[in-house]
Amino acid sequence: MLNSQGYNEKEVLLGIRPEHISEDAEVLAQFSESTVEANIEVSELTGTELMVYSALEGQQYVTRINSDSLIQPAQNIKLSFDLSRSHFFDKETESRIR
C-alpha cells in the first residue's frame, strides 16, 4: 500500500492507539509477527485501566491494559501490536497516509 503511494524507501511514522497494543497471551499468539520485548518505564493506574509507558528504538509508546495486571516499572514484558489497526504518517509533513 505504501509503495503504491510513492513511499518506496521513504521513512514513515507508525501510529497505533494504546488499546491496540496488548500483553494478553492470546493476542501475543495471534500477532506473534509484531511482538516486541518492552521494558516498562512508568505505569499509571487510571481506575479500570493501567497505562503502561515504554520505549522502542527511541520512540515512547503507551499500552492500555486491565488494571488487575501486576505489571510494574522496570519489568520486561512482551507486547504485541495489532498492525491491522495501525496508521501511517509522512515523516516530513506528518500528514496521514492511511
List the one residue out of 8, 91, 74, 43 whose CA is nearest residue 18: 43
Q: Answer whether residue 31 is part of any domain.
A: yes
Which residue stretches of the chain have pLDDT < 70? 1, 3-5, 98
pLDDT of amino acid 7: 74
pLDDT of amino acid 1: 64
pLDDT of amino acid 63: 93
Q: Answer whether residue 74 is part of any domain.
A: yes
Q: Answer whether residue 95 is part of any domain.
A: no
Between the alpha carbon of residue 12 and those of residues 9, 44, 60, 93, 98, the distances in Å are 9, 29, 16, 10, 11
Please report, for the domain that includes residue 22, its CATH number: 2.40.50.100
pLDDT of amino acid 50: 92
pLDDT of amino acid 21: 92
Q: Answer whether residue 97 is part of any domain.
A: no
pLDDT of amino acid 98: 67
Domain that holds residue 60: 3-88
Domain count, the chain: 1
Q: Answer whether residue 96 is part of any domain.
A: no
